[in-house]
Amino acid sequence: MKRSEVDVSKLSPMMKQYLDIKKDYENELLFYRVGDFYELFFEDGETAARELELTLTGKNAGLEERVPMCGVPFHAVKPYIEKLVSKGFKVAICDQLEDPKLAKGMVTRGVTQVISKGTVVDLELLNDHDNHYIASILDFSYIYTICYADISTGSIFVSILPHQREKLLSTILNLGILEVVLKNNEDLELIALLKGTYGIEVSFSSEELENDYAYIYESLEEEHYIHTVKHLLYYLVVKELKVLSHMKSVEVIIPDDYLEMDIHTVRNLELIETLRLKDRTYSLIWLIDKTKTSMGSRKLKFWLMNPLKNQSLIEERYNKIETLNNEFILKENLRNSLYQIYDMERLCGKISCGSLNARDLLQLKLSLKELPTIKKIVKELGFDMEINTHQDIYELLEQSIHENPPITLKEGYLIKEGYNKELDELKGIRSGGKDFIANFESKLKEETGIKNLKVGFNKVFGYFIEITKGQIANVPSSLHWERRQTLTGAERYISPELKEKEALILNAEEKIIDLEYNLFMEIRETIKKQILKLKDTANLIAELDAITALSVVAEECHFVRPTLNQEHKIDIKNGRHPVIEKVSNYDYVANDCVMDSSIHTLLITGPNMSGKSTFMRQLAVIVILAQMGSFVPAEKANLPIIDKIFTRIGASDDLVSGESTFMVEMKEAKNAICNATENSLILFDELGRGTSTYDGMSLAGSILEYVSKEIGCKTLFSTHYHELTVMERKIPSVKNIHVSAEEENGTITFLHKIKSGAVDKSYGIHVARLAGLPDVVIKNAQKMLEEFEGKNKKTTHENEQIQFCMDFENEKEDPIKEKLKKIDPLRLTPMEALNILYEITNEMNKK
C-alpha cells in the first residue's frame, strides 16, 4: 500500500497527522514517535523493515486494509539509525512535543532533527580519530569554493580551489568528507563519481541562510566564501534542523600555505591507511598517534594531512618538542592529566544540539577538573598557551550533577542534594514516605497479630496490604479496609490512611523528576552561554596533546630535529622508514639521501625486492614529518621546504572507470609534470612498465628528461630500464644510484643499501626462485633470457643507438597562448576585453 493510494478522509486522526508531517520530508525515512516506539508507515515502513531486517506488520488506521508498519523501541533507536545512515538513507526524527498526560486530544508532534551521513552528532556513532565532515561545493565556472564543517565538533572551514576536477576530488577524499551539498544536479559526472565511485552522499539545496548565525562568516571579505558558507548553513539549519551555537567563525584555508598532496600521494605513502587492507593499523598516523585524547588525535591527523610551508611555524613546533624531550618528568605528568580529559569538542557539540545527558556533563566536569594542573605544567614548560580553567562551570557541575546519574533525563537522580531547596523538600517527603510504609507495616502486624502481613506496591493498584487466605478472618472490621484484588493464595486491600500517604509520595516522586529535568535544562543553558570559550580551551588541549604525542614518538623511535634550508638541497644521513622499521622482524638498513642544489634527479636501479620503493617512500615520509613540525627518523636531516609531493608508485587498473594500468600511470605522470614546480618532490617508481618494453622505455626516458631539464624539482626515479642510466652523462642534474645485492652460486642476497652508480641486472629470475616457482619454470626462463640477451647484443652496442635527449628549446610555449592563459574573462570589463583583443591582433600581425 502506498501513501498516494490512500483516501485521506477515511484515515484516523493520528495517521492524518503523520501524512501532514511526511509531506515536508519526502526524501527521509520518518521515525514517528508513538508512546515508547518510533514507527514507520507505508513505503518508509517497507524500506526500514527490509534494510533493518525487521518484521513488517500492519496498523489499523481507519481503512479496510491495515497500513504497512514497522517499529523500534525509542530507547534503543540509535543502532537502527546508524545502520540506515551508513547505507545512505536520511532519517527524520518526529517526536512528541508535549506530555501525552497533559495533551488535550491529539498529541502535538514535529520533526526535531534530520540525520544524514554528514550530520551525525551522537558520540556513540562517531569515530574518535576522524572528523565527520559535510561540505558545500559551489561551481563558479573558473573556480570551485568549498565550505566543510564537522557538526560534532563545531569546526568550519572554507577554501577556494582551481577549477580542476582532480583537485576537487582529491580535496574531498583527503578530508574524508561524508556528504556533499550541491546547488543542483547539473554536473552529472561529478555526482556519479561522488556517489557511485566513492560512496559519498550527495544532497541538493539552492538556498542561502540570511541573518541567522551571521557571526560565523561576518569576518569574511571574499564574496565567494560568504555565498558558500551561507549555502551550507541553510542546509544545516533549515533542512536538517541543526543548532549551531557551538560553531566559531569560519576559518579560511589557503592551499598555498600547506604542502600539497593529492589523493594518490596520500594513499601510496599510506599516511592514514594501508593500501592492502585499508586499515589504520600500520599506517604512518598509527605510528605517530601517541595522543591521550580524541581531540588530540584529530588535530594530529590534520597536521599530518596539512604539512606547513611556513618555516617559523614549523620551527615553533620543533622548539616545543625539544622542550618536552628535555622536561621528561613534566611531560609524563602532562600526559597523565591529558588522559583524564574527555572529548570536550564533541561534548560542546552535544550541549549545543540538545542531545546531552547527565553523564556527558559528568565527563565535562572531570575534564575541567584537570585544567588547573595542565595550566600549571604549561606555565612551567614556558609554552605560550593561556589555558582557561572554567572554574565557574566546574563548581556549578560539582554542586549540581549527581555522581552516578542515569542515561535518560526522565528517571530522576540527576541533581545532588543541597543544590535546590524545593527539590530537597520533595526528596524529604519521598524519603519520609518510604519510612512511613515500613513503620505502617510494623504497626498493622502489631494491631492485627498477622505476622506475615505485607505492605507492597505495583503500578496498577499503587500501595496495598496483602493478607494470606488463612489470615483473612483475623482482619478487624473496625479498620475499614477495602478489598482490591484476589490472588490464588492471598487477598489485597487498601485503607484510607494508606491511600492518603500514597498520593503524597507519588506526587512527590513525579514532581522530583520534573523539577530535576528543569534544573538540568537550566544548567545546560548556563554552560551553553560559554560554549565558544570551552571550544577555545578544547582546541588548545588538542594542540598540546598533538605536540606531546610528537615528542613521545621522537623519543621512542629515535627521531631527530631536522634542519631546514633555502638552498634547495637534501642531505639525510641514515634515514629510515619509521613504520617498516617498527614492524619489521629484521634490523632495518638505514640509507643516506644526498641531493645538493645541482642534483635534481636520482635515477635508481637495482633488483626487485631490494628496497627501491621503500627508499623513495622513506624520503617523502621524512619530508612530510618535517613539515608537519615533527622530528624525523634519521641520524641527521637537512631539508628544503617542499611545496608539493607527487607519487606514481605501484601498478593497478582503475576498474571502475575502465582504465588500464598504463592509462592510470600516464594520468598520474601527467598530473605530476603539469603541476610540479622547482620546489616540488616527485616519486616515479618504474614508470612505463604498463606497456611494451620500447614504448615504456621511450616514455620513461622522455619524462625523466623533461622533469630534470624543464621543471628542475627533486625527483626519485626508479627503473628496470637500464638503458636510461646513460642519461647521467648527458644531463648534469641526473645522478645514478642503485640498491646493492650480492649474487653467489645462483643465490641472491639483498643488502638494501643505497650506493652510487648504476647496475645492469634486475635479478628477476632470482626473485621468482625466492617466490617458490617450480624449478622447470625457472630453468626455462633462464634459457630464454640468455637467448634474448644474445640477440640484443647483435643489434645494439652499449645502448649507443638509443637517443633520449630532446630539444626543448623548440618546444617553448607560444607567448600569445601564455598571455591568454593568464586572462580571467569573468573579471574583465567589455572595454578591457577589446583592448586585450587589439593587442593580441597586433602581435599576430607582426609575426
* Cα-Cα end-to-end distance for the chain: 76
Residue 131 has pLDDT above 50, yes or no: yes
Sheet with 29-34, side-by-side order of all strands = 57-59, 67-73, 37-41, 29-34, 91-96, 109-115
CA distances from residue 597 to 494, 565, 566, 601 in whole angstroms, order as listed: 98, 11, 10, 11
Q: What is the pLDDT of residue 656?
A: 42
Which three three-digit cell numbers place residue 754? 643505497
Q: What is the pLDDT of residue 806?
A: 47
Q: In this structure, are strands 482-486 and 57-59 parallel, antiparallel, or unpaired? A: unpaired
Query: By C-alpha distance, which of 760, 771, 763, 759 is closest to 746?
Result: 763
What string of DSSP letters covers 356-368?
--HHHHHHHHHHH
Helices (H) and strands (E) in the chain, counts: 26, 27
Given a contact cutoff of 8 angstroms between Cβ atoms, the answer to whether 121 and 349 are in contact is yes
Query: By C-alpha distance, which of 434, 498, 506 is closest to 466?
Result: 498
SS (H, E, C) 107-128: CCEEEEEEECCCCCCCHHHCCC
Write the CB contacts of 50 (distance below 8 Å, at least 6 apart in sequence).
none
Residue 655 has pLDDT above 80, yes or no: no
Helix, strand or coil for residue 599?
Answer: coil
Q: What is the pLDDT of residue 792?
A: 57
Share of the chain above pLDDT 70, in %: 93
SS (H, E, C) 382-414: CCCCCCCCCHHHHHHHHHHECCCCCCCCCCCCC
Backbone angles phi, psi at 259, to 5 degrees: -65, 125
Residue 768 has pLDDT above 90, yes or no: no
Q: Could you report the per-residue pLDDT of 697-727, keeping only the tens digit for each?
A: 888 889 999 999 999 999 999 988 888 889 9
Q: What is the pLDDT of residue 32?
A: 96
Query: What is the rounded distance in angstroms from the CA atom of residue 272 to the CA atom of residue 278?
Result: 9
Which three three-digit cell numbers place residue 412? 530522576
Query: Amino acid letter at 757?
Result: G
For the chain, the residue count is 847
Query: What is the rounded distance in angstroms from the CA atom of residue 266 to the CA atom of residue 174?
Result: 8
60 sits in which H/E element:
none
DSSP state, residue 250? P
Q: What is the pLDDT of residue 798?
A: 46
Residue 462 has pLDDT above 70, yes or no: yes
Mean local confidence (pLDDT), 784-798: 59
Q: What is the pLDDT of residue 808?
A: 46
Q: What is the pLDDT of residue 21?
A: 95
**Orientation angle between helical segments 496-528 and 391-400, nearest 10 degrees:** 170
Backbone angles phi, psi at 649, to 5 degrees: -130, 135
Q: What is the pLDDT of residue 650?
A: 64
Residue 583 has pLDDT above 70, yes or no: yes
Backbone angles phi, psi at 445, to 5 degrees: -60, -40
Helix, strand or coil for residue 201?
Answer: strand
Q: What is the pLDDT of residue 293?
A: 96
Given a contact cutoff of 8 angstroms between Cβ atoms, the answer to whether 440 and 432 are in contact is no
Given a contact cutoff of 8 angstroms between Cβ atoms, the answer to whether 598 and 674 are in contact is no
Q: Could you report the per-residue pLDDT of 407-461, keeping only the tens digit for each?
A: 888 888 899 999 999 898 888 877 776 677 778 888 888 888 888 888 887 777 7
Low-confidence winner among 158-172, 523-537, 786-800 (lowest mean pLDDT): 786-800
Residue 305 has pLDDT above 80, yes or no: yes
DSSP state, residue 56? P
Which three three-digit cell numbers place residue 83? 545502520
Q: What is the pLDDT of residue 489?
A: 86
Q: Could you report the per-residue pLDDT of 32-91, keeping only the tens digit for each?
A: 999 889 999 999 999 999 999 999 999 988 888 899 999 999 888 989 999 999 898 999
Report the predicted TM-score, pTM, of the whole model to 2 decimal places: 0.84
Q: What is the pLDDT of residue 386?
A: 94
Q: Could you report the per-residue pLDDT of 198-243, keeping only the tens digit for each?
A: 999 999 999 999 988 999 999 999 999 999 999 999 999 999 989 8
Query: By C-alpha distance, which of 582, 603, 612 is closest to 741?
Result: 612
Query: What is the rounded distance in angstroms from the CA atom of residue 172 to the CA atom of residue 178?
Result: 9
Q: How many other C-beta atoms lie within 10 A of the C-beta of residue 263? A: 16
More confident residue, 502 or 681: 681
Write the CB contacts of 261 (distance below 8 Å, at least 6 apart in sequence).
174, 269, 271, 305, 624, 644, 645
Mean pLDDT rounded to a whole number for the chain: 88
637 sits in which H/E element:
strand 636-640
Query: By C-alpha distance, which of 54, 51, 44 is closest to 85?
Result: 51
Q: What is the pLDDT of residue 654?
A: 45
Query: What is the rounded distance in angstroms from the CA atom of residue 639 to the CA atom of residue 594?
Result: 10
Q: Could you report the per-residue pLDDT of 324-342, keeping only the tens digit for each?
A: 999 999 999 999 999 999 9
Establish how many alpha carbons lie within 13 A of residue 410's alpha carbon, considering only the half-sphere containing its beta carbon: 2
Establish how many alpha carbons lie within 13 A of residue 449's alpha carbon, considering only the half-sphere containing its beta carbon: 6
Query: What is the rounded distance in angstroms from the CA atom of residue 687 to the CA atom of residue 666?
Result: 9
Write the CB contacts of 659 (distance below 8 Å, at least 6 apart in sequence).
653, 667
Q: What is the pLDDT of residue 770?
A: 72
Query: What is the rounded distance in angstroms from the CA atom of residue 160 to the CA atom of residue 466?
Result: 77
